[in-house]
Structure 1
Amino acid sequence: MAEKIFVGGFRGFAKNDKAPDWVIGDALITIDEFKAFINSNQQYLTEYNGKKQLKIQVTRAQNGSLSFTVNTYQKQDQSGQTHPIMQGPATPVGAEELPF
């Protein structure tokens, strides 16, 4: 099993007992911590339609809280070889590229 890489700046919480059924839980994003995580973990970024992305897997702990980990799944081609998540040189994401 691959090592879990928790996304910096993300915190998840179990839903409130009074919340409606369609609510799964609550999340809090600390922007500065998330930016720092992205800039120091460029190797986990993927690209889609020319835009950099971070695949995040959301899981639930036994206590009901939510966890946010980097989805590091890599497709294997027909020869059985895996391909790196990020193609090309890893350059830090500039503040202008983040949506916040």
Structure 2
Amino acid sequence: MPKFTFGNALYEIPLPKPHRLKHWFPLQITECVTSVVVECPAFDEYGYGEDYNSAVKDLGESIVGFWESLKHLKKRRRNMGESMRRIFDLMEEQIRGE
């Protein structure tokens, strides 16, 4: 039976270098027998792994990949729906790259 962990705690999300987030975000963590899923509702993304560390690393890679895809869409002047634009604006505000 899965164990669900929900709450208002903020967690650091490691991103692939050279990217980093300005702030910590609330995460929803679901632990199953052999895996962990870490969801970040603010970015509408999730990560998956054998343990918390691998799941949160996967989440960071997913966030950066999604952000890069949205930047590419914007660069090509493609329209984004309202929810995508909201997430993109949050990513632009929160993700720092060197």
What TM-score results when the alignment is normalised by the length of structure 1? Answer: 0.28
Q: Which has the higher helix share?
A: 2
What TM-score results when the alignment is normalised by the length of structure 2? Answer: 0.28
The structure having more radius of gyration, on CA atoms, is: 1
